[in-house]
Amino acid sequence: MATHVKVIAAFYFVCGGLLVLGGFFTSLVLGVVAGVVSQSNEEDAGTAAAILGLTGTTVTVMLLALAVPYLAAGWGLLKLRPWARILGIILGAISLTSIPFGTLLGIYALVILFKKETEALFSGSAGPQVLGSSGS
């Protein structure tokens, strides 16, 4: 089970990283577009640039806020923190709506994190098993 938990943690790190990259890319693209629009001689160019800038900032903040739970869950799963199992289950359920890859990740995470062996691993009653050791 420890190997499966490690794989889920890696997937959560990837999801969090992609959200961070998406946030910065969105900010960059909309910032450039707002700059180009503001240089035009149109009457409402300033308003449009301001709206584009605000939209870029809002989307960036939202994507970064969504990345934090994925990164925290990834770290917590690697450290076998009990709260990370719960957060992983919640994120797995949320991921089900992201067809097709998020659905696959969500199903995998939910199946693994709901198993009794995994629950024992996080409660410490599985013995002196370390996350890096061989397991199923």
Inter-residue contact 31 to 53 (CB < 8 Å): yes
Q: Report pLDDT for 125.
A: 60
Longest dimension (CA), the chain: 71
Task: Retrieve residue 84's tokens.
Answer: 């990370």
The pLDDT of residue 129 is above 60: no
Write phi, then psi, for 134 (nearest 5 degrees). -75, 135
Task: Retrieve residue 136's tokens.
Answer: 């199923």
* pLDDT, tens digit (0-9, with 9 covering 90-100), for 28-65: 999 899 888 888 888 888 888 889 989 999 999 999 99
Domain residue limits, the chain: 2-123
Among 26-30, 65-69, 123-127, which is the least confidently predicted range? 123-127
Average pLDDT over residues 70-89: 95
Q: What is the pTM of this model?
A: 0.80
Q: Report pLDDT for 46.
A: 85
Q: Which helix (DSSP H) or strand (DSSP E) does residue 84 occupy?
A: helix 82-95
Task: Retrieve residue 94's tokens.
Answer: 């949320």
Q: Report pLDDT for 84.
A: 94
Q: What percentage of the chain reaches a pLDDT higher than 70?
A: 90
The pLDDT of residue 68 is above 50: yes
- Site of tokens 């923190």: 81
